[in-house]
Protein backbone atom coordinates (compact mmCIF):
# COMPACT_ATOMS: atom_id res chain seq x y z
CA UNK A 1 0.00 0.00 0.00
CA UNK A 2 1.36 3.41 -0.99
CA UNK A 3 2.11 5.71 1.94
CA UNK A 4 2.14 9.39 1.03
CA UNK A 5 3.22 12.07 3.49
CA UNK A 6 3.05 15.83 3.25
CA UNK A 7 5.33 17.73 5.60
CA UNK A 8 4.79 21.47 5.81
CA UNK A 9 7.76 23.70 6.52
CA UNK A 10 10.05 20.84 5.48
CA UNK A 11 13.04 22.76 4.17
CA UNK A 12 14.80 23.45 7.47
CA UNK A 13 15.13 22.46 11.10
CA UNK A 14 12.46 20.18 12.53
CA UNK A 15 10.65 19.74 9.22
CA UNK A 16 13.85 18.68 7.48
CA UNK A 17 14.52 16.00 10.11
CA UNK A 18 10.92 14.80 9.93
CA UNK A 19 11.09 14.44 6.14
CA UNK A 20 14.25 12.34 6.38
CA UNK A 21 12.70 10.08 9.03
CA UNK A 22 9.51 9.52 7.03
CA UNK A 23 11.48 8.64 3.89
CA UNK A 24 13.33 6.05 5.94
CA UNK A 25 9.95 4.65 7.00
CA UNK A 26 8.92 4.09 3.38
CA UNK A 27 6.75 7.16 2.77
CA UNK A 28 6.59 9.07 -0.48
CA UNK A 29 7.17 12.58 0.81
CA UNK A 30 6.15 16.03 -0.38
CA UNK A 31 8.44 18.72 1.02
CA UNK A 32 6.42 21.88 1.45
CA UNK A 33 8.21 25.20 1.80
CA UNK A 34 7.45 28.87 1.36
CA UNK A 35 10.59 31.03 1.48
CA UNK A 36 13.52 28.62 1.65
CA UNK A 37 13.56 27.25 -1.89
CA UNK A 38 17.31 26.62 -1.98
CA UNK A 39 17.17 24.56 1.21
CA UNK A 40 14.14 22.61 -0.02
CA UNK A 41 15.79 21.73 -3.33
CA UNK A 42 18.98 20.78 -1.52
CA UNK A 43 17.07 18.38 0.73
CA UNK A 44 15.13 16.99 -2.22
CA UNK A 45 18.39 16.27 -4.05
CA UNK A 46 19.88 14.60 -0.97
CA UNK A 47 16.88 12.33 -0.53
CA UNK A 48 16.76 11.45 -4.23
CA UNK A 49 20.41 10.45 -4.06
CA UNK A 50 19.53 8.12 -1.19
CA UNK A 51 16.90 6.46 -3.37
CA UNK A 52 13.80 7.99 -1.82
CA UNK A 53 10.74 9.30 -3.69
CA UNK A 54 10.22 12.96 -2.85
CA UNK A 55 8.82 16.12 -4.41
CA UNK A 56 8.88 19.77 -3.45
CA UNK A 57 6.02 22.22 -3.51
CA UNK A 58 6.05 25.91 -2.70
CA UNK A 59 2.93 27.08 -0.89
CA UNK A 60 2.08 29.55 1.85
CA UNK A 61 -0.06 27.45 4.19
CA UNK A 62 -1.98 30.53 5.33
CA UNK A 63 -3.41 30.79 1.78
CA UNK A 64 -6.16 28.20 1.32
CA UNK A 65 -5.99 28.46 -2.48
CA UNK A 66 -2.28 27.62 -2.54
CA UNK A 67 -2.85 24.76 -0.11
CA UNK A 68 -5.59 23.30 -2.31
CA UNK A 69 -3.33 23.45 -5.35
CA UNK A 70 -0.56 21.73 -3.40
CA UNK A 71 -2.80 18.83 -2.43
CA UNK A 72 -3.90 18.40 -6.03
CA UNK A 73 -0.26 18.29 -7.15
CA UNK A 74 0.63 15.69 -4.53
CA UNK A 75 -2.39 13.58 -5.44
CA UNK A 76 -1.40 13.63 -9.11
CA UNK A 77 2.20 12.58 -8.42
CA UNK A 78 2.01 10.32 -5.37
CA UNK A 79 -1.68 9.74 -4.67
CA UNK A 80 -3.82 10.96 -1.75
CA UNK A 81 -2.05 12.16 1.37
CA UNK A 82 -2.27 9.46 4.03
CA UNK A 83 -0.04 11.25 6.57
CA UNK A 84 -0.10 14.99 7.14
CA UNK A 85 2.55 16.57 9.35
CA UNK A 86 1.74 20.19 10.13
CA UNK A 87 5.13 21.62 10.99
CA UNK A 88 5.20 25.05 9.32
CA UNK A 89 5.38 27.85 11.85
CA UNK A 90 6.80 31.26 12.56
CA UNK A 91 7.60 32.93 15.87
CA UNK A 92 7.01 36.44 17.13
CA UNK A 93 8.65 38.13 20.11
CA UNK A 94 6.91 41.32 21.19
CA UNK A 95 5.03 42.79 24.09
CA UNK A 96 1.28 42.68 23.62
CA UNK A 97 0.92 46.45 23.17
CA UNK A 98 3.50 46.39 20.37
CA UNK A 99 1.76 43.77 18.25
CA UNK A 100 0.56 45.08 14.90
CA UNK A 101 -2.39 43.85 12.89
CA UNK A 102 0.10 42.51 10.33
CA UNK A 103 1.99 40.52 12.98
CA UNK A 104 -1.21 39.08 14.40
CA UNK A 105 -2.57 38.09 11.00
CA UNK A 106 0.72 36.54 9.91
CA UNK A 107 1.44 34.44 12.99
CA UNK A 108 -2.13 33.21 13.41
CA UNK A 109 -2.36 32.72 9.64
CA UNK A 110 0.64 30.42 9.45
CA UNK A 111 0.70 28.77 12.86
CA UNK A 112 -3.02 28.07 13.34
CA UNK A 113 -5.01 28.82 10.20
CA UNK A 114 -2.30 27.10 8.17
CA UNK A 115 -2.93 23.84 9.99
CA UNK A 116 -6.67 24.19 9.54
CA UNK A 117 -6.18 24.81 5.82
CA UNK A 118 -4.11 21.68 5.27
CA UNK A 119 -6.37 19.49 7.39
CA UNK A 120 -9.45 20.63 5.45
CA UNK A 121 -7.76 19.48 2.25
CA UNK A 122 -6.44 16.20 3.65
CA UNK A 123 -9.56 14.93 5.38
CA UNK A 124 -11.88 14.19 2.42
CA UNK A 125 -9.50 11.59 0.94
CA UNK A 126 -8.84 10.16 4.39
CA UNK A 127 -12.54 9.80 5.10
CA UNK A 128 -13.02 8.11 1.73
CA UNK A 129 -10.33 5.55 2.55
CA UNK A 130 -11.42 5.18 6.19
CA UNK A 131 -7.85 5.77 7.28
CA UNK A 132 -5.44 8.63 7.80
CA UNK A 133 -2.99 10.17 10.17
CA UNK A 134 -2.50 13.81 11.14
CA UNK A 135 0.37 15.00 13.33
CA UNK A 136 0.32 18.64 14.40
CA UNK A 137 3.42 20.35 15.75
CA UNK A 138 2.62 22.80 18.55
CA UNK A 139 4.98 23.99 21.32
CA UNK A 140 5.44 23.84 25.07
CA UNK A 141 4.66 27.57 25.01
CA UNK A 142 1.14 26.60 23.96
CA UNK A 143 0.88 24.65 27.22
CA UNK A 144 2.55 27.01 29.67
CA UNK A 145 2.77 30.40 27.94
CA UNK A 146 5.83 32.57 27.50
CA UNK A 147 6.56 36.21 28.30
CA UNK A 148 6.70 38.38 25.17
CA UNK A 149 5.49 35.45 23.07
CA UNK A 150 1.78 35.69 23.82
CA UNK A 151 0.79 35.63 20.15
CA UNK A 152 2.91 32.58 19.32
CA UNK A 153 1.74 30.84 22.51
CA UNK A 154 -1.90 31.58 21.70
CA UNK A 155 -1.53 30.14 18.21
CA UNK A 156 0.11 26.99 19.54
CA UNK A 157 -2.51 26.62 22.26
CA UNK A 158 -5.03 26.75 19.44
CA UNK A 159 -3.21 23.92 17.69
CA UNK A 160 -3.46 21.80 20.82
CA UNK A 161 -7.21 22.44 21.10
CA UNK A 162 -7.63 21.78 17.38
CA UNK A 163 -5.80 18.47 17.68
CA UNK A 164 -7.78 17.21 20.64
CA UNK A 165 -11.10 18.20 19.07
CA UNK A 166 -10.35 16.67 15.68
CA UNK A 167 -9.18 13.44 17.28
CA UNK A 168 -12.70 12.95 18.62
CA UNK A 169 -14.37 14.19 15.44
CA UNK A 170 -12.37 12.05 13.03
CA UNK A 171 -11.81 8.84 14.99
CA UNK A 172 -15.06 7.22 13.70
CA UNK A 173 -13.63 7.66 10.19
CA UNK A 174 -10.43 5.80 11.07
CA UNK A 175 -8.33 8.96 11.19
CA UNK A 176 -5.88 9.57 14.01
CA UNK A 177 -4.84 13.05 15.17
CA UNK A 178 -1.99 13.65 17.58
CA UNK A 179 0.05 16.65 18.64
CA UNK A 180 3.71 17.11 19.53
CA UNK A 181 4.89 19.98 21.72
CA UNK A 182 8.62 20.55 21.23
CA UNK A 183 10.60 22.21 23.98
CA UNK A 184 13.59 24.42 23.30
CA UNK A 185 14.97 22.98 20.06
CA UNK A 186 18.24 24.01 18.45
CA UNK A 187 17.00 25.36 15.09
CA UNK A 188 17.15 28.60 13.11
CA UNK A 189 14.29 29.90 15.26
CA UNK A 190 16.79 30.06 18.12
CA UNK A 191 18.87 32.65 16.26
CA UNK A 192 16.98 35.47 18.03
CA UNK A 193 18.69 34.45 21.28
CA UNK A 194 22.27 35.35 22.20
CA UNK A 195 24.70 32.68 23.42
CA UNK A 196 24.13 33.51 27.08
CA UNK A 197 20.37 33.02 26.70
CA UNK A 198 20.89 29.74 24.82
CA UNK A 199 23.13 28.48 27.60
CA UNK A 200 20.55 29.51 30.20
CA UNK A 201 17.79 27.67 28.31
CA UNK A 202 19.95 24.56 28.17
CA UNK A 203 20.65 24.91 31.89
CA UNK A 204 16.92 25.28 32.61
CA UNK A 205 16.28 22.00 30.80
CA UNK A 206 16.58 19.15 33.33
CA UNK A 207 18.34 16.96 30.75
CA UNK A 208 20.97 19.69 30.43
CA UNK A 209 20.84 20.37 26.71
CA UNK A 210 18.77 21.90 23.96
CA UNK A 211 16.67 19.49 21.94
CA UNK A 212 17.57 18.54 18.38
CA UNK A 213 15.30 18.39 15.33
CA UNK A 214 15.89 14.64 15.34
CA UNK A 215 14.34 14.39 18.81
CA UNK A 216 11.07 15.66 17.34
CA UNK A 217 11.43 13.54 14.21
CA UNK A 218 11.61 10.41 16.36
CA UNK A 219 8.31 11.33 18.00
CA UNK A 220 6.79 11.78 14.54
CA UNK A 221 8.22 8.41 13.54
CA UNK A 222 6.31 6.82 16.44
CA UNK A 223 3.00 8.56 15.71
CA UNK A 224 3.32 7.66 12.02
CA UNK A 225 3.89 3.97 12.73
CA UNK A 226 1.57 1.02 13.21
CA UNK A 227 2.92 0.85 16.74
CA UNK A 228 0.69 3.83 17.57
CA UNK A 229 -2.38 2.50 15.76
CA UNK A 230 -4.57 2.88 18.86
CA UNK A 231 -3.18 6.27 19.87
CA UNK A 232 -5.12 9.42 19.07
CA UNK A 233 -5.90 12.73 20.73
CA UNK A 234 -2.57 12.79 22.55
CA UNK A 235 -0.33 15.78 23.23
CA UNK A 236 3.25 14.58 23.58
CA UNK A 237 5.74 16.97 25.15
CA UNK A 238 9.29 16.46 23.87
CA UNK A 239 11.28 18.92 25.93
CA UNK A 240 13.86 17.21 28.12
CA UNK A 241 11.71 17.97 31.16
CA UNK A 242 11.67 21.74 30.57
CA UNK A 243 7.93 22.19 31.11
CA UNK A 244 7.93 20.10 34.28
Q: Which domains does the chain have, with CATH numbers?
A: 4-238 (3.40.50.720)
Task: Please name which of 225, 15, 213 lies closest in space to residue 6, comparing C-alpha atoms.
Answer: 15
**Catalytic residue ranges:** 152
Task: Please name which of 74, 149, 156 lies closest in space to residue 118, comparing C-alpha atoms.
Answer: 74
Question: What's the confidence (pLDDT) of residue 70?
Answer: 98
Q: What angle do CA 76, 77, 81 make, to 5 degrees?
A: 80
Phi, psi of 7 (to 5 degrees): -115, 115
Per-run averaged pLDDT (10 residues), the chain, 244 residues: 94 97 98 95 97 98 98 98 97 93 97 98 98 98 92 97 98 98 86 78 89 97 98 97 84
Helix axes 13-24, 37-49, angle to 10 degrees: 20
Q: How far apart are CA 78 and CA 3, in angstroms?
A: 9
Q: What is the pLDDT of residues 149-196, one digit of tens each?
A: 999 999 999 999 999 999 999 999 999 999 999 999 988 777 667 788
Question: What's the confidence (pLDDT) of residue 201?
Answer: 82
Cβ density class 161-198: b for 16+ within 10 Å, e for less: ebbbebbeebeeeebbbbbbbbbbbbbebeeeeeeeee
Q: What is the pLDDT of residues 215-226, one digit of tens each?
A: 999 999 999 999
pTM of the model: 0.96
Phi, psi of 133 (to 5 degrees): -145, 125
Amino acid sequence: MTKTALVTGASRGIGRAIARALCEEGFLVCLNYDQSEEKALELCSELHERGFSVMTYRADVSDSRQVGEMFRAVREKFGPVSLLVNNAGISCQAQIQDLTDEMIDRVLGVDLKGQINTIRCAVPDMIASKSGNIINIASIWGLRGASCESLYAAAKAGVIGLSRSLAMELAPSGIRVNCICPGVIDTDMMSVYDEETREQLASDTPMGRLGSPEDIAEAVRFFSSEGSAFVTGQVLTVDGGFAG
